A and B are shown apart, each in its own frame.
Chain A
């Protein structure tokens, strides 16, 4: 089944404890992206990747890191999480950049205490 998966789905952590949210797609998509969703703010892009080893900042990259060592995986890293990073996070992928449907993962609800 073609899909985007994320893990974990739910995470409660404390300030400063490094964490990684994994994202994987099995559709051989070139483009992958991370968004955070907050009430009243819609979906805001954190980072995106147009292909392996090619990543760039979105609109809200502060406090996050990403890597794209393999085409299928695009992990989101929070080196020192803070309470303002409490949010619902979505990974998405599309065949390539520019005018292609983005397929979203199921979401990761993160709470930073």
Chain B
């Protein structure tokens, strides 16, 4: 089955700097790659997703890139702000989309 590895597990950046979180996946048939943000004590919420027919997608300060050949995808956050502090999860679909397999999570801390 699908295996998703996420790095780093913790990341600390200065406010205003950029943050990058990377994920690799094992199933070459995966087609859907979402990113979820979980603030402290809250539920995960989708922030951006990308499908296999697209190499990059951007939404304001957030961007995701996908390299299907290498089977990895990354989340990029520019001009980080204190409210970006949270745990971020990447995920990849499996079994024709029946399942979503999550990475282990990255705890991002933005230092003022």
Provide the bound-state CA to CA distance between A107 and B38, in Å: 12
The answer on a CB contact under 8 Å between B104 and A102 is: no
Interface membership of A1, Cβ < 8 A:
no
Chain B proximity mask over A70-113: 1 for CB below 8 Å, otherwise 0:
00000000000000000000100000011101101111000000
Interface size class of B (residues with CB under 8 A): 20 to 34
Tally of contact residues, A, Cβ under 8 A? 23
11 A-B interface contacts by CB (under 8 A):
A40-B9, A42-B6, A42-B89, A42-B103, A43-B102, A99-B49, A101-B46, A101-B49, A104-B44, A104-B45, A106-B42
Q: How far is the CB of B9 from chain A (nearest CB, A)?
A: 7
Question: Using an 8 Å CB-CB cutoff, how does the interface string of B76-110 with A read, 1 for contact, 0 for none?
Answer: 00000000000001010100111111111100000
Considering the complex, give the chain B residue whose CB is closest to the CB of A35: B102
The answer for the CA separation of A46 and B99 in the assembled complex, in Å, is 10
Binding site for B on A (CB under 8 A): 33, 35, 40-45, 48, 50, 56, 58-59, 90, 97-99, 101-102, 104-107
Q: Is the CB of B46 within 8 A of A102?
A: yes
Interface assignment of B1: CB less than 8 Å from any CB of chain A: yes
User: Do B97 and A97 have beta carbons less than 8 Å apart?
Assistant: yes
Residues of chain A within 8 A (CB-CB) of B45 are: 104
B87 to chain A, nearest CB (A): 9
